[in-house]
């Protein structure tokens, strides 16, 4: 099915009849569609009217008045169409209104929410041609003809109204639909801003025109103050920045248009106008050209990977960042030019994220050797001295710091810093005291100097805002959605068991809580006896791994707990394909990538019930108190013997994976890199 039309209803039966009549009359004859009507507790004759409707109508009845957002979200969950057409019941639709909106998605792969021109049904005046921000970031309808800046019938706006709009169902559901914290207002603008965060474009199809009985819906405006407070608390600094950008762009466009009009040949021949006026017009035209060039030219993104280490010493941040950047390059390669700073011995490890024309800079003896990526390999491209002017000499428009801090940060250089956890503040006992103090110092510096913070969970963003003077508007989310990164399973690594086993892939850092796991495993093994599954641990070999081996041996588990060290990706995939269950008792996680990998391979999950793990796992895991070895042992016993529990966890895991899309996370990063480079910042 191509389109699901969704119309929430609350009283106003006469308007509903007119809207449905115009909808049925204007739907293309060959369009596969359904019309979902959600009655939100009407008290007039609406429900009696709905009883007589036949397919393609689908009727949903709310038990009480739940509001605009909840009604639309309910309909979206049962919809079958590729696209959702969200419609108010006070619209009058004209022939040809739908086709330009559908065409926008065919022509623009990054289309997010597509709206149209809406005229007042009574006066005919243009009421909506997009949504802009005014008065410090407050949303307002744009009511001028957008033809002057539309391209091929499409005009980009920060947002559009959902009184009549089109959106992909898959994205709408993945982003969570409308925020039900709003009450009949601001839901659509909030949705559009989330689309922008995902790297999508909000467009107005100027060839689509409808008539709208403005604000005829009951309850509209009743909660304006409460909604505005919620909206501005989340988006205010960003929408204020968008307002500044919009005002500047419009002023430059109008001045340039005036300049072009002024400098028509007959003006020049007659010599009309004062010299000062001619100079002003020339400057306006030049400013517009510079702005358009900045938006269409390739932005050079400096990527500081100087903290990258060989193998698995960096933990999950390494595959996450490399996978994310590779996807950004695949999606938006024409917009970004990468300049990657990386240790000399690891240049080939980052080759996969670079495209022809990108650069690699490797340090040695106080200079950086510059190599340019070509279709066939690397081409030397000179050297740059290390030190203060390096970012400027490298021509960076924005700096990306995947390890948080960066020695390349400079005043005036926009920077996006990745924050993966607040371990030093939330669990300082897991780190040496000097490391805690060191991290606290550079987090304080980042809070002052970074432009945006990429956080890998809502939990991390909340902790960052709690511990440091960082406004939430400077934080954005990018989940570690790299569950598809592993190749097909290869051979099992030497020493791996052939039968089912508990699997714990984690470096041997103190907060990973191996000690409690080993005690819990001993309790489990004593009860299960010969039926006990082995426990397999992988991770970067270090001194703590040797200490944990001694603990294992002291517990009498030498033959039951297997250490495999760091394994290659194909062997890692083979372990997942044989694992009976993931057990993940970490005391502190900013995300928890192994949970997604387990879900992808159909492996049930046991995980700690704290930090970011519940956010990632949802209902797709058996959550336990990771500090309680008895609770952990009981969870292991249940998963090992209860087939029904395993099957339920696996099914929930497959469903849960739909919430994590590397494509969307990369689009979100690309959006904020571009916003930082263009100084569209809080």
Query: Before 56, cis peptide (omega within 30)?
Result: yes
Are 582 and 598 contacting, i.e. CB atoms less than 8 angstroms apart? yes
pTM for the model stands at 0.83
| pLDDT at residue 558, rounded to an integer | 95
Lookup: tokens for 368: 């950086």
Cα torsion 627, 629, 634, 636: sign: positive
Copy the structure tokens of residue 259. Answer: 């300049």
Q: What is the pLDDT of residue 274?
A: 53
Q: Is the dihedral of CA 144, 147, 150, 153 positive or negative?
A: positive
536 near 575, Cβ under 8 Å?
Answer: yes
> Which residue is listed with tokens 């006992």?
429
Residues near 279 by Cβ (< 8 Å), separated by ≥ 6?
none
Q: Which residues of the chain have pLDDT under 50?
A: 266-272, 293
- Cβ atoms of 661 and 481 closer than 8 Å: yes
Residue 83 near residue 102, CB atoms below 8 Å:
yes
Please answer whether residues 657 and 382 qualify as being in contact, where contact means their C-beta atoms are separated by less than 8 angstroms: no
Tokens describing residue 428:
């300082």
SS3 call for 595? helix
Which residues, including other chains, have CB under 8 Å from residue 546's CB and lie 6 or more apart? Answer: none
Nearest alpha-carbon partner for 363 in 396, 340, 379: 340
pLDDT value of residue 270? 43
DSSP E strand stretches across 420-477: 452-455, 475-477
What pLDDT, on the 0 to 100 scale, is given for residue 266? 47
């Amino acid at each position: 099915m191509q389109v699901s039309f969704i119309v929430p209803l609350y009283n106003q039966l006469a308007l509903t009849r007119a809207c449905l009549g115009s909808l049925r009359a204007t739907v293309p004859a060959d369009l596969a569609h359904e019309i979902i009507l959600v009655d939100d507790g009407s008290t007039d004759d609406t429900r009696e009217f709905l009883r007589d409707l036949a397919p393609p109508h689908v009727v949903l009845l709310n038990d009480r008045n739940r509001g605009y957002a909840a009604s639309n979200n309910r309909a979206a969950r049962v919809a079958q169409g590729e696209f959702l057409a969200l419609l108010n019941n006070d619209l009058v639709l004209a022939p040809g209104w739908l086709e330009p909106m559908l065409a926008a998605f065919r022509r623009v792969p990054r289309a997010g929410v597509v709206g149209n021109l809406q005229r007042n049904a009574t006066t005919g005046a243009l009421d909506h041609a997009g949504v802009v921000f005014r008065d410090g970031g407050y949303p307002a309808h744009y009511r001028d003809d957008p033809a002057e800046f539309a391209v091929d019938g499409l005009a980009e706006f920060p947002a559009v109204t959902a009184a009549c709009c089109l959106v992909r169902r898959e994205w709408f559901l993945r982003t969570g639909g409308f925020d039900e914290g709003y009450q009949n207002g601001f839901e659509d603008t909030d949705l559009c801003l989330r689309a922008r965060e995902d790297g999508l474009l909000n467009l107005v199809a100027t060839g689509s025109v409808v008539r709208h009985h403005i604000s005829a819906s009951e309850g509209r405006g009743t909660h304006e103050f409460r909604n505005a407070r919620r909206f501005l608390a989340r988006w205010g600094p960003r929408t204020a920045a968008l307002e500044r950008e919009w005002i500047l762009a419009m002023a430059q466009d109008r001045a340039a248009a005036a300049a072009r009009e002024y400098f028509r040949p007959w003006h020049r021949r007659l010599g009309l106008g004062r010299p000062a006026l001619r100079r002003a017009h020339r400057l306006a035209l030049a400013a517009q050209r510079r702005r358009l060039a900045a938006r269409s030219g390739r932005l050079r993104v400096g990527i500081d990977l100087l903290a990258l280490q060989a193998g698995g010493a960096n933990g999950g941040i390494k595959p996450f960042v490399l996978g994310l950047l590779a996807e950004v390059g695949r999606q938006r390669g024409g917009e970004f030019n990468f300049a990657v700073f990386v240790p000399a011995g690891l240049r080939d490890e980052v080759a996969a994220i670079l495209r022809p024309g990108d650069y690699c800079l490797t340090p040695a003896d106080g200079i950086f050797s510059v190599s340019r990526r070509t279709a066939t390999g690397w081409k030397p491209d000179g050297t740059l001295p290390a030190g203060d002017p390096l970012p400027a000499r490298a021509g960076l428009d924005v700096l990306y710091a995947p390890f948080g801090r960066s020695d390349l940060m400079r005043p005036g250089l926009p920077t996006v810093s990745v924050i993966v956890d607040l371990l030093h503040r939330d669990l300082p006992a897991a780190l040496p005291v000097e490391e805690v103090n060191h991290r606290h110092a550079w987090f304080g510096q980042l809070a002052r100097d970074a432009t945006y913070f990429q956080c890998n969970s809502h939990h991390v963003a909340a902790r960052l805002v709690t511990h440091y003077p960082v406004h939430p508007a400077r934080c954005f989310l990018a989940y570690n959605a790299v569950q598809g990164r592993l190749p097909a399973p290869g051979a099992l690594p030497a020493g791996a068991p052939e039968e089912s086993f508990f699997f714990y892939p984690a470096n041997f850092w103190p907060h990973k809580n191996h000690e409690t796991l080993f005690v819990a495993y001993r309790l489990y093994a004593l009860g299960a006896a010969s039926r006990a599954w082995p426990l397999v641990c992988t991770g970067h070999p270090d001194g703590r791994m040797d200490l944990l081996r001694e603990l294992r041996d002291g517990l009498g588990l030498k033959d039951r707990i297997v250490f495999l060290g760091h394994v290659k990706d194909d062997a890692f995939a083979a372990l997942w394909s044989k694992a009976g269950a993931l057990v993940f008792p970490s005391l502190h996680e900013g995300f928890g990538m192994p949970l997604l990998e387990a879900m992808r391979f159909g492996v049930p999950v046991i995980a700690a019930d704290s930090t970011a793990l519940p956010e990632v796992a949802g209902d797709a895991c058996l959550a336990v108190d990771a500090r309680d070895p008895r609770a952990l042992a009981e969870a292991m016993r249940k998963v090992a013997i209860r087939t029904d529990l395993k099957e339920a966890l696996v099914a929930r895991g497959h469903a849960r994976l739909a919430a994590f899309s590397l494509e969307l996370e990369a689009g979100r990063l690309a959006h904020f890199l571009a916003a930082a480079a263009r100084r569209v910042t809080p």
